[in-house]
Amino acid sequence: MPADPTSHPPASVRSLWRLRGYLRPHRWSLVVMFAVSLAGVGLTIAIPLVTRAIIDGPITRHELAPVLPLGLLALALGVLEAVLIFVRRWVQSNAVLGLETDLRRDLYERLQALPMSFHSRWQSGQLLSRVTTDLSAIRRFSGFGLLFLVVNILQVVVVTIVLLTMYWPLGLVVAATAAPIVWLSMRFEKAYVVVSRRVQDQQGDLATQAEEGAVGIRVIKSFGRSDHMARRYDEAALELRATSLDKVRLSAKFWTFLEVIPNLAVVVVLLLGAIGVGRGALTPGELVAFITLLLSLVWPVSSLGVILAMAQEAMTAAARVLEIFDTEPDIVAGDQRVRSPRGHLRFEHVHFAFPDDPDQPVLRDVNLDVAPGQTLALVGATGSGKTALTALVPRLFDVTGGRVTIDGVDVRDLDLAVLRSLVATAFEEPTLFSMSARENVTLGRSDADEDDVLAALEIAQAGFVHDLPWGLDTRIGEQGLSLSGGQRQRLALARAVLAQPAVLVLDDTLSALDVHTEKLVEEALSNVLSETTGLVVAHRASTVLLADRVALLEHGTITHVGTHRELLETVPAYRDLLAADPVPPADPDAPTAAPRAAGRTAGASGAPTNEGARA
């Protein structure tokens, strides 16, 4: 995949062909679908031939007896055709929905497996449109377009051969209509693939703006920028509308020609057929059968526009989906495991630069040793690299030089599932999910019992969950925005504590707590940190006191390591940082709105998030 998500390879048949593996589990369903469809084509041809036999036989000879059996035969063929259509659609729905489900599951798993460097480059709306709109386009073509593209082309070819056999002059008229259809289809394909891609990309951009508007609604309202954001959204929507109209105009022109061509052929055939009957070269029954067969081609030809448009959209969608599948993760899982983990954490000559800016190193020659059961506080100014350093432990990013080890094993050699069971992180800006408080807390340890959950909540001073409308079973709401910033932090801390990791990383986790609550949390945390290895990003002196040792990070390098007292006495830069400790906020945990009972969701309050900020 290109480094720039907005640049993309051209869509082609090859894009769809590469996804053919998703059809293999449903191959027998596809065989049944094609067989039934081909049988339907045969019945479409047989019914007009029976009609010819009725007209040229008993009707011409004025015989009543043969009319009934031939009429019943025609009726039986019609009923059989209807049954075959039902069977095809029933088999088709199961196969196509299964294909879409498999593709959606694998795409989501791929997104989960891709590293942070990928997600930092891509807009969430672009990813969302690929998981929803693009997969729907692939499903529609795989279940409807592909089948009828083959069947309709086959029907046109077979019916044309039958018409040539019945009366070749009129058959040539029908065959001659293929030339302008092929020419128009080729021109349509080249133009439509471009505008289709543009529409799908703009839909992704619009989805991003809609999501940002929903998640950041409090920021927008607090700054009185609702009109501004509405104008931005309206501009994007109007741009999408203009492109969509270009797409519709292109399709309308093509479909109009496809409607006109077969209808012109019908007029010509009626005229020449009547002349043929008058001259005795054609029987009335043959003319009726000929017209009926010709009319049976109107739908396959006119539907060609819809099917080709569907094919182009599916090819574009497949190309967009493959951009994700083709992305090679820059974090490759190892296969080692740690037996009886103790949590001995070491940074050995670590260098790091973000993948999108490799020439600007964030960390330079970092060396740290955190013994099992020891807690190290990281102190540094904003932008010194603290968050980047903590992100290297669970391999949210990989080092660009040196190594990080746990119990002597390079984290890059560890199985990712094992590594992330050894390390738990609570971030400054916590992410909660649209699920119950219990599910959010047990996300890192699904087998935790009730006593463990309650103990973790007590350590994090998150007892407020018991006062929610349904207690722990209250649905938190999307992004956890129904809670205050301090409440979200405490739930995230409880989640990290409940995981019982060998290494606990706290990235300024207590920043939104008031002084009283922070003191209670720190007292409870001190017991937890005495039994695990702790790496704590700290901005407050009170948080630093949790640590056995303190490391001062300046401009991406560890300049001093020692106890809090030692650094306070000997390092002026350390004193200056702690002297700049801001006055604690006044109880940010007080909700600003009453709890909502609707949807089993707590009341709305909290601060806007700033995920992905680099400290």
Mean pLDDT, residues 303-324: 84
Contacts of 375 (CB under 8 A, 6+ apart): 529, 533, 534, 535, 536, 546, 547, 548, 549
Res 600: pLDDT: 35
**Average pLDDT of the chain?**
81
Q: What is the mean pLDDT of residues 222-239?
A: 84
CA distances from 78 to 47, 87, 88, 460 (A): 8, 14, 15, 72
Residue type (1 letter), 452 = D
Reported as a pLDDT band with limits 50, 70 and 90, residue 68 is confident
pTM: 0.69
Look at residue 401 and tell me whether its pLDDT is greater than 90. yes
The residue that leads in pLDDT, 357 or 560, is: 560
- Any idea which of 155-169, 175-189, 364-378, 459-473 has the lowest mean pLDDT? 175-189
Report whether pLDDT(248) > 70. Answer: yes
Q: Tell me what pLDDT residue 582 has.
A: 47
What digits encode the pLDDT tens for the residues 558-613? 999 999 989 988 999 988 888 755 444 434 443 333 333 333 334 333 333 333 33
**pLDDT grade, residue 9 (50/70/90)?**
low
Q: What pLDDT band is residue 478 in, cutting at 50, 70 and 90?
A: low
Structural domains in the chain?
13-325 (1.20.1560.10), 345-428+503-600 (3.40.50.300)
pLDDT of res. 13: 82
Q: Are strands 557-562 and 549-554 parallel, antiparallel or unpaired?
A: antiparallel
Mean pLDDT of 341-362: 90
Q: Which of 53-62, 125-134, 460-469, 591-600 has the lowest mean pLDDT?
A: 591-600
Phi-psi region for residue 553, left (φ > 0), alpha (ψ -120 to 50) or beta?
A: beta
Here the contacts of 97-103 (C-beta below 8 Å, separation 24 or greater) are 97/139, 98/25, 98/26, 99/22, 99/23, 99/26, 99/139, 99/142, 99/143, 100/135, 100/136, 100/138, 100/139, 102/22, 102/25, 103/19, 103/22, 103/135, 103/138, 103/139, 103/321
Mean local confidence (pLDDT), 522-538? 84
For 537-547, write each residue's pLDDT tens digit. 887 777 888 88
Distance, CA of 43 to CA of 204 (rounded, Å): 44
pLDDT band at 166, cuts 50/70/90? confident
Res 335 pLDDT > 50: yes
- Give the model's pLDDT for residue 542: 79
Summarize pLDDT for 182-198 with one digit per residue, the tens: 777 777 777 777 888 88
At residue 352, the pLDDT reads 94
Q: What is the pLDDT of residue 185?
A: 76
Share of the chain above pLDDT 70, in %: 91
Position 404 scores a pLDDT of: 95
Residue 607 has a pLDDT of: 33
Amino acid 442: pLDDT? 92
Mean pLDDT, residues 66-95 taken together: 84
Handedness of CA 245, 246, 247, 248 (dihedral sign): positive
Task: Report the pLDDT averaged over residues 451-465.
Answer: 90
- Average pLDDT over every residue of 366-371: 94
pLDDT of residue 11: 66
Least confident of 60-69, 215-224, 488-497: 215-224
